[in-house]
Structure 1
Amino acid sequence: MSFIEVKNVTKKFDDTTVLEDISLNIEEGEVLGILGKSGSGKSVLLNMLRGIMDYAPDEGDIIFNVAYCPEFDYIDAPSKVGETYKDGYKFEAKEINLYKCSKKEFAAVKRRISIMLQRTFALYEEETVLQNIMRAFENQRDEDNINKAIKLLKMTKMEHRITHIARDLSGGEKQRIVLARQLAKNPMLFLADEPTGTLDPKTAQLIHDALLDGVKEKHITMVINSHWPEVIQDLSDRVIWLDEGKIKDEGTPEDIVPEFVKEIPQVIKHEEVEIGEPIIKMEDLKKYYFSVSRGVVKSVDGVTLTINEGEIASIVGLSGAGKTTLSKLIAGLIEPSEGDIEVRIGDDWVDMSKKGLANRGRATKHIGLLHQDFSLYPYKTILGNLTDGINLDLPPEFAKMKSIHVLTAVGFTEEEAASLLEKYPDQMSGGEKHRVAIAQVLIKEPTIVILDEPTGTMDPITRRQVTESILNAREELDQTFVIISHDMDFVLECCDTAALMRDGKLLDHGKPEKIVEELTSQERTKMLKNAEY
C-alpha cells in the first residue's frame, strides 16, 4: 500500500480544466519530481497535496495511508504502524481521504506537511535568523532544540548569519532560512514548489545540497516540482511529466528528463539588425548613498557608457554590483550624485539629471521599466492589468485586440492570449505572470524598455519565448532594450552587448562572448551554466 494515493483527480478553475484524471502513487521515502512548463498544473497538484481547500479536487480522491495515534491525535509515516509513540500508546494503521475526512483528521495531516513556495519568504522580518528557526520548534518542546537549530543552519550554510535580522538578508539567504524552518517542523511529507526558480546557480546549488542532506538522505517523502530539468535530475527518484494538466509520461529521471529537454525550442536565427545612433549617453555617472553603518555607499561609481538605438544592451554582474541603481538612473527614477546622463527623444537630447516636465519628465513617458520584484493588480483581470491598470484609455474592442497582440509577443498563442484576458493573476502560474508583466511594459510601446532580471522565474521553454519576443519587438517596434541580469546564458542568447559591473564600477563593455572571458571564477560560478563557455 502506497503512502499517498492520487486517484482520478480532476480540478477546474472557472470552467478551465487545470488537472485532468490524474492518478499516481507516492511511496514512503520517495522523492517524486514533477516536470513541466509553466501552466502545466504543477503548483495546483502540489497545493492539492498540501491540503489547501481552494485546490480541493472537483473529482477524485487524495488518500493518505498513515500511522495514527488517536490518544495524542498524532500522525506519522506508515512505517511507524505498531511502534510506540509515547506513554505506551502505539500507532495504528489508518486511511485518511484528505478532502472527505473529519476536520480533526484533516488538521492532523496538515500539521505533518511542510512546503517551500517560490518567491515566498514567510519569515518574522524583525527577528534574528536563530529566532526564526526556534519558532518552528514551538510544538516540539525539547531541550536540544537550540542544537538542532544550529545544525540546520550549518546544513543550509547559514551559520554565519545566525544573529542577523531576517529583513536584512538577501533573497537567496531568506530562501535557505525558509528551508531550515520547514525542516525544523520534522515533516512526514516535504513539498517544494520551484525552490530554486529565482536563484543564481551557486545559491540554487546550496538549496539542492540542503534538500539532499535534510530530506532525501533522511528518507523523508518529498514531492518537488520544477521547470528546470537539472533540478529534477539531481533530486528525484521518479518523475512525472505534466503537460496541459495531464500526465504525459512517467519514469526515471534518466528516461524522462532528456525527452523533456528535446521539447525546449531553439532560438530562431534572426536577421542582423542595423544599430542606429546613440540613444543613451552616460559620462562619469555617479550615485552615492550614505549609510549609518557603512558610511558612503558608491552604488554607481564613475560609469561612462553609450547605448545605441535598436540595440539589445545588457548590464551584467553579481548582486550588489550596481546594476539596478544604474537602471533607475536611466529610467529617471533617481537623480545622479555627479556626472551626466542623457536620453535622446526624437532629435532632442534630454538631461535626465534635471527635474520637471520639460526635462526628464519629457523622456520618462517613453521609457518602460519592469522591476525585478514586479507585481500585478490581484483584483483586476489580465485585460485590466494591461489596459486600465496602467491608465491606457482604449475602446473595449481595441483594448482586447492590442492586449492579445502584446501577449502573443511574449510567447502566448492567440488562443491562449484570448483565454487569459478574463483571468485573474492568482489563476496563473509564476512564469505566466512574469510574461504578462513584460506585456504590461510593452503595451505602452515605449522607445526604451528596461527589464530587470527578466528570466528570474521562467522555465527554459518560456525563456526561449521571451528571447523571441524581445528580438521580435526590436525588429517590429524599433525598440531599444536595456536588460539587467546575472543570467549570462540569457545575455549570450539575446543581447548585442554587455556591460560588466563590479562594486559600482564599469569594468568592461563589448560583445557578450568577450565579457564572458572577463568574468572572475566567482562570477562564472554564479552567472553562467553553459559549459561551452
Structure 2
Amino acid sequence: MVLLEVKNVSKKFGDSEVLKNINFTLDEGEVLGILGRSGAGKSVLLHMLRGMEGYEPTEGQIIYTVAQCDGCGSVEVPSMENQKCSCGGNYELISVDFWDKNQTTFNLKRKIAIMLQRTFALYGEQSVIENILQALSAAGYEGKEATNIALKLIKMIKMEHRITHVARDLSGGEKQRVVLARQIAKKPIIFLADEPTGTLDPKIAKIVHKALKETVVKNKIGMVITSHWHEVIEELANKAIWLEKGEIKEQGDSKEIVAKFVETITELKKFDKVEIKEDMAILENVEKKYCSVERGIVNAVGGVSLDIKEMEIYGLVGTSGAGKTTLSKIIAGVIPPSKGKYIFRVGDEWVDMTQPGPMHRGRAKRYIGMLFQEYTLYPHRTILYNLTESIGLELPGEFGMMKANQVLVSVGFTEEEAEKLLDKYPNELSVGEKHRVALAQVLIKEPHMVLLDEPTGTMDPITRNQVAESIQKSRAELEQTYVIVSHDMDFVLNVCDRVALMRGGKIIKIGAPEEIVQILTEEEKEEMIGH
C-alpha cells in the first residue's frame, strides 16, 4: 500500500529554488535511496518529509496515507486499516495533506523517525540507557517491557560497554548509534535517514547499516535514506532517485541508478607542494592519564613526541580509541598533559603549554582554532552575522564585510559567490558550503594553527575536493597550519604533508602518508580505508 506520495513539490529559499517539481511514491515497507552531490537538495527534501519548520513546500503537496484510530487518534501504517487499537477504537484509512496543520499531522509527526547528519539529538547529561528509556516512555512503554526493549536495542547497536556513560562523553559514532536506538524506540511508520553513517569510520558504519537492516528493513518500516556512500543505497534500498541541482535526473531500480551515478564520481584533486617553515609546536614524552570508576587509571596518551611546522598540514590517524582525539585536545590547549613537555611558538617566543594562566597556555590558546564534527551555525542569522557578531568579532560594518568576504574566498568561494553568500541563511546552503563557512568562522579569528576533527565525514567526492581545496588554498593565502584528525585515508593521502599513526595512545610512526598506509594492520585498513 502507498504510504507516501510527493506531488509536484518545489521549494524556494528567497530567490533560490532548491527543489523543482519532485514526484515519487513510497510504499509501506519500501526503502527509497536518494543519491546526489552536496547541494542537490537531499537534506531539504528529508526535512520537508519530516515537517521541520521553514521547510514547507513552495508548491506541491506531501501526502501520507495512514491508518488512524477513531478513538484516540493514534496513527499507524495503512495495513492496520480495520484493526483494533489498544484503546478499543478502530483504525480507519485516511489521507493526510502533511503541511495542512491539524491534530492528525501532529500525531503523524510523532511516528516519523529521523537521523540527521552531524546532529546528535540526545540528552547530554543522561546515560545511554536513560536516553533510550526516555524515548520508549514517550512511545508508551513502561516498566519491565521498556527495560527489555531497551536491552535489545543496546545489543543491536553494540553499546553494551557504554550503558552507564552519559551521552555528552560519547564519541560521535557512539552518539549516532544511540540516536538510532532512540528513533527505533518510537515504533515509526517511516524512517528518514540523512547520511546516517557519514561521520563514522567504515567499521562502525557497518554496525549501523546492519542495525538499519535488522530493524527498519526487516520489520518493513518504510525508509527514505540519503548517502554519498553509494554502496549503502545499493545494499538497503529497493529503488533510488538521483537528484541533481534540485531536480530528479533519474529514478528506478537502486542498482541501475547507483551504477549510473558511480560513473560520474571523480577522483580527489591533486595539489602543488608548498614551502614548509620552522617548528610551531613541539611535544616531548607527553602523557595523559584519566581516572575512571569503571576502568581505573586510563593511559589515553603515553610518551608521545612530535613536532608540527608552520604551514604544514599534519595528520593524526588511528582506529577508534587510539588516543588521537585526546592528543588533538592537548595540542589545542583544551586539556593539559599529565606529564611531558609541550611548547607552542607565538611570534618569536615559545609558550609553555603545560602551565595554566594568561601568560602561558591561555596566551597561546587564542591562536589555536578548532572545528569539531558537531559544528553549528546560527540558523536564523545570516552568514555575515555568523562570521562576525556571533563570534564576538567587533569591526565597523564595512570592515566586517570586507574581512568576511576575504576569508570566504580563502576557503574556495569565488568573490561573486562570497558576496551573495553573506545575506543567505545556513539552511539555504549545502552541507559542503556550510562546512566551508564553518571553517571560515574559525579562520576569521586569525589563528596560527587550526585543528579539524573528521572534516570530510558526510561528503561526496566533489565536496571532499572542495574542502581539500579550501584547506590548501587557505594554507597558501593565509599561511595557515593545520592538524587533521581523520579516518578518511584517501583524504589524508591527498592533503597531508606528514602523518602520525597512533595505536593504544602511542605514536607508532611519523612519515609521509604513503609510508603510513604501507604499515596499517588489517583492522586499521578495515576501519580507515574499508570504503
Q: Is the TM value for this pair above 0.5? A: yes
TM-aligned CA deviation for residue 527 of structure 1: 1.8
TM-aligned CA deviation for residue 113 of structure 1: 1.9
Count matched residues: 529
1:94-105 correspondence to structure 2 within 5 Å: 94-100=94-100, 103-105=102-104
TM-aligned CA deviation for residue 367 of structure 1: 3.4
Classify the secondary structure of the residue corresponding to 2:2. Answer: coil
Structure 1 match to 2:517: 516
Structure 2 match to 1:75: 75
Structure 2 match to 1:110: 109
Q: Which moved more, 1:506-515 or 1:50-59?
A: 50-59
Question: Does structure 2 conserve the Cα–Cα contact (< 8 Å) formed by 1:434 and 1:457?
Answer: no
Counterpart of 1:31 in structure 2: which amino acid?
A: V
CA distance in 2, matches of 1:137, 1:203: 24
Question: Does structure 2 conserve the Cα–Cα contact (< 8 Å) formed by 1:489 and 1:529?
Answer: no
TM-aligned CA deviation for residue 126 of structure 1: 5.1
Counterpart of 1:186 in structure 2: which amino acid?
A: K
Question: Does structure 2 conserve the Cα–Cα contact (< 8 Å) formed by 1:286 and 1:298?
Answer: yes
Question: Does structure 2 conserve the Cα–Cα contact (< 8 Å) formed by 1:49 and 1:62?
Answer: yes
Q: Percent identity?
A: 56
Structure 2 match to 1:48: 48
Gaps of 5+ in 1: none
Counterpart of 2:18 in structure 1: which amino acid?
A: V
Question: Does structure 2 conserve the Cα–Cα contact (< 8 Å) formed by 1:313 and 1:482?
Answer: yes
CA distance in 1, matches of 2:155, 2:361: 49
Classify the secondary structure of the residue corresponding to 1:100. Answer: coil
Structure 2 match to 1:152: 153
Aligned pair in 2 of structure 1 residues 366, 31: CA closer, same or farther (>3 Å)?
same
Deviation per CA, 1:386-419: give whole Å up to 9, x if none. Answer: 2333444445344334423432433444444333
TM-aligned CA deviation for residue 209 of structure 1: 0.6
Deviation per CA, 1:263-287: give whole Å up to 9, x if none. Answer: 4443333333333333322222233
Aligned pair in 2 of structure 1 residues 41, 296: CA closer, same or farther (>3 Å)?
same
Structure 1 match to 2:481: 480
Structure 2 match to 1:331: 332
Deviation per CA, 1:443-470: give whole Å up to 9, x if none. Answer: 3443333223222343332211111122
Question: Does structure 2 conserve the Cα–Cα contact (< 8 Å) formed by 1:386 and 1:440?
Answer: yes
Gaps of 5+ in 2: none
CA distance in 2, matches of 1:406, 1:45: 30
Structure 2 match to 1:38: 38
TM-aligned CA deviation for residue 249 of structure 1: 2.3
Aligned pair in 2 of structure 1 residues 326, 171: CA closer, same or farther (>3 Å)?
closer
Aligned pair in 2 of structure 1 residues 148, 331: CA closer, same or farther (>3 Å)?
closer
Question: Does structure 2 conserve the Cα–Cα contact (< 8 Å) formed by 1:508 and 1:515?
Answer: yes
TM-aligned CA deviation for residue 214 of structure 1: 0.7
TM-aligned CA deviation for residue 50 of structure 1: 1.8
Question: Does structure 1 conserve the Cα–Cα contact (< 8 Å) formed by 2:71 and 2:89?
Answer: yes
Aligned pair in 2 of structure 1 residues 270, 437: CA closer, same or farther (>3 Å)?
same
Aligned pair in 2 of structure 1 residues 256, 416: CA closer, same or farther (>3 Å)?
farther
RMSD: 3.0
CA distance in 2, matches of 1:518, 1:216: 38
1:462-501 correspondence to structure 2 within 5 Å: 462-501=463-502
Aligned pair in 2 of structure 1 residues 416, 256: CA closer, same or farther (>3 Å)?
farther
Q: Which moved more, 1:239-248 or 1:87-96?
A: 87-96
CA distance in 1, matches of 2:209, 2:370: 32
TM-aligned CA deviation for residue 519 of structure 1: 2.7
Structure 1 match to 2:199: 198
Deviation per CA, 1:93-127: give whole Å up to 9, x if none. Answer: 322212236x2322232233222233333344555
Aligned pair in 2 of structure 1 residues 284, 25: CA closer, same or farther (>3 Å)?
same
CA distance in 2, matches of 1:206, 1:119: 18
Structure 2 match to 1:281: 282
Work out whether 1:238 is the aligned partner of 2:203. no
Classify the secondary structure of the residue corresponding to 2:121. Answer: coil
Aligned pair in 2 of structure 1 residues 362, 179: CA closer, same or farther (>3 Å)?
closer
TM-aligned CA deviation for residue 31 of structure 1: 0.5
Counterpart of 2:275 in structure 1: which amino acid?
A: E
Structure 2 match to 1:28: 28
